[in-house]
């Protein structure tokens, strides 16, 4: 992921839960925060390591959109995503960050996907910039310290 000077919210969305005939914008700005959508073949492909890497890279928040519970077209992908998100939230809390920085919503074919995403992004925007963004140093400063 590239480093950005502005806050960013990443939305990982299961391709299977996008209602037929609906197109999701790939990026937009909401409440002064850049929102970027990453489409996945299944929400079960979400990996905690990648989510933490995104937060470490400066993401203000993460949103994972899954199929409704019990309605995954690929067996248990949404269940796996939910378990992984609970793990990420628990670990965020352990390191002193708000667990709400990693959110999960479920979207069925009859739901208004754009409204669900915008409401969840609004909640993530309300958290403000991640403390990880302000604590990070540019690579050039971190590598020019004194040798021991």
Tell me how many degrees the CA angle 117-4-6 measures, rounded to the nearest 5: 60
Question: Which residues lie below 8 Å from residue 121, measured CB to CB, with a gap of 6+?
Answer: 9, 11, 30, 31, 33, 35, 61, 63
Does the residue 147 lie in any domain?
no
Are the CB atoms for 54 and 1 separated by under 8 Å? Answer: yes
In this predicted structure, what is the pLDDT of residue 143?
A: 41
Structurally, the chain folds into a number of domains equal to 1
3-state secondary structure 12-70: EEEHHHCCCCCCCCCEEEECCEEEEEEEECCHHHCCHHHHHHHHHCCEEEEEEEECCCC
CATH code at 105? 3.40.50
Does the residue 2 lie in any domain?
no
In this predicted structure, what is the pLDDT of residue 6?
A: 57
What's 74's DSSP letter? T
For the chain (148 residues), the mean pLDDT of every run of 10, in chain order, is 62 88 88 93 91 90 92 85 95 94 91 92 92 57 45
In this predicted structure, what is the pLDDT of residue 28?
A: 94
Does the residue 1 lie in any domain?
no
In this predicted structure, what is the pLDDT of residue 144?
A: 43
Does the residue 148 lie in any domain?
no
Does the residue 3 lie in any domain?
no
Does the residue 93 lie in any domain?
yes
In which domain, by residue range, is 14 found?
Answer: 8-142
Does the residue 116 lie in any domain?
yes
């Amino acid at each position: 992921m590239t480093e950005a000077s502005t806050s960013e919210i990443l939305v990982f969305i299961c391709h299977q839960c996008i209602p037929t005939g609906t197109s999701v914008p790939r990026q937009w700005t909401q409440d002064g925060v850049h929102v970027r959508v990453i489409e996945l073949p299944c929400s079960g492909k979400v990996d905690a390591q990648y989510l933490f890497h995104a937060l470490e890279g400066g993401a203000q928040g993460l949103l994972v959109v899954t199929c409704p519970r019990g309605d995954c077209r690929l067996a248990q992908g949404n269940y796996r995503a939910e378990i992984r998100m609970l793990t990420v939230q628990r670990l965020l809390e352990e390191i002193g960050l708000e667990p709400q920085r990693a959110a999960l919503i479920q979207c069925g074919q009859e739901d208004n996907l754009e409204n669900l995403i915008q409401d969840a992004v609004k909640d993530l925007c309300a958290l403000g910039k991640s403390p990880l963004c302000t604590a990070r140093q540019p690579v050039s400063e971190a590598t020019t310290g004194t040798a021991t």
